[in-house]
Amino acid sequence: MANKFVRAIFPGSFDPITNGHLDVIDRGIKLFDELIIAVGRSPVKNQLFTPEERVEMIKEIVREKRMKGVLVESFDGLTVEYAAKKKADVILRGLRSLTDVQYEFQLAMTNRAVAGIETVFIMTSEQYSFTSSTLIREIASLGGNLSNLIPPTVYERLKKRFKKLKD
Ligand code: ADP
């Protein structure tokens, strides 16, 4: 990868973005020249934030943290078609545990078979290996403290949504 400009996309639902995602993004920007965080618009089960809200929150974090070479967009349809449209060289995905590997392996093999695109995996730090957006949504709805697992801007939004949440 040494002399070539390498563009990666990091696709996901990000509903909402967590410190685990951010950990993967921080590591990813060291490997690639450009990283596009791509928020899928396809309907997700128990959606909490609209794709627009998710993009807005991530953009806010990227700005705050002054992340260089990081772009944020939403996309419709197939990830591989979006990757081709953006002329991305690789798809970035995060791994938390062996359980993730099985599904991600299948997804990566399929994407390579249908579009010839490679997937690069980054393992998260252990402290986020149990963090998932699904659990964040559940804990938020029950009023649990999430300040160690999500960025402050996301927590603020969640507090507006779930009045039970404390500081
Ligand atoms: P999707 O619905 O496509 O899995 P997610 O937003 O749940 O979208 O996840 C996007 C990517 O981030 C996936 O590769 C997922 O495995 C990874 N990911 C999710 N949570 C974490 C975490 N805590 N640490 C590292 N990677 C994560």
Give the mean pLDDT of 100-128. 96
- Give the amino acid at 124: T
- pTM, two decimals, is 0.94
The predicted pLDDT at position 2 comes to: 57
Tokens at residue 116, please? 């010839």
Residue nearest to atom 4 of ligand 1 (CA): 12
Tokens at residue 114, please? 């249908």
Compute, in angstroms, the gap from residue 87 CA to the centroid of ligand 1: 22
Query: Which residue has tokens 């078609």?
Result: 81
Of 12-26, 59-73, 153-167, the least confident: 153-167
Compute, in angstroms, the gap from residue 12 CA to the centroid of ligand 1: 6
Instruction: Choose the catalytic residue: 7, 21, 54, 157.
Output: 21
Give yes or no for residue 134 CB within 6 A of ligand 1.
no
Has residue 85 got a pLDDT over 90?
yes
Residue 84 burial (CB count, 10 A): 13
Give the mean pLDDT of 3-32. 96
Give yes or no for residue 100 CB within 6 A of ligand 1.
yes
Active site residue 96: yes
